[in-house]
Amino acid sequence: MVALTFCSPRSRHNLHARQPKSHILEDLLTNATDIVCVVGEANAWPCRDTKHRSAYPDELVQWVALRPSTGERFACFAAPRNPLLSPSTPAHLSVEADTLHAGGSLEALLESWQTFVREDDVICSWGRYAGSPVSQ
């Protein structure tokens, strides 16, 4: 499985400086039938809420993927393990808090994900939490 992450911030740089040639687009076109687009979302407290942020680390609560070549979709919730749910999490995900609390375990999410993903998939991800659900 190949993982490509698109998450770099925009930066100002010398437009005349020669940039190394990226092969990402070429790799994507070569492996177009194997592409899986992934995003992960977390129960995360805002940075300004230092009290809760330090007590409750970010935790993966949603994992969503799409295989564009076939339209296959994967979507799974993992119930928050932290005793408190950040008030912004349900709103950010456009779901009710009860939906999140009714999710399965992170282990069940990972097991389900392993049945969806294939060894030759090229994973394209974006966002802070999509690097790997295992690291959460």
Per-residue pLDDT tens over the stretch 82-102: 888 998 899 989 999 999 999
Asked whether residue 99 is assigned to any structural domain, the reply reads yes
- Of 53 and 131, the one with more pLDDT: 53
Name residues whose C-beta falls within 8 Å of residue 90's C-beta, 6 or more positions apart in sequence: 96, 97, 99, 100
- β-strands 72-77, 2-6: how paired? unpaired
Asked whether residue 20 is assigned to any structural domain, the reply reads no
Q: Among candidates 51, 8, 123, which has minimal Cα distance to 134?
A: 123
Asked whether residue 5 is assigned to any structural domain, the reply reads no
pLDDT tens sequence across 13-37:
555 555 566 676 676 666 678 899 9
Cα–Cα distance measured from residue 121 to residue 13, given in angstroms and rounded to the nearest whole number: 33
Q: Name which of 75-84, 100-109, 118-127 the model is least confident about.
A: 118-127
Asked whether residue 121 is assigned to any structural domain, the reply reads yes
Q: What angle do CA 71, 90, 8 make, to 5 degrees?
A: 60
- Of 45 and 5, the one with more pLDDT: 45
Q: What is the CATH number of the domain that holds 98?
A: 3.30.420.10
Query: Count of domains in the chain?
Result: 1
- pLDDT at res. 19: 59
Asked whether residue 15 is assigned to any structural domain, the reply reads no
pTM of the model: 0.71
Can you give the residue range of the structural domain that contains 92?
A: 32-135
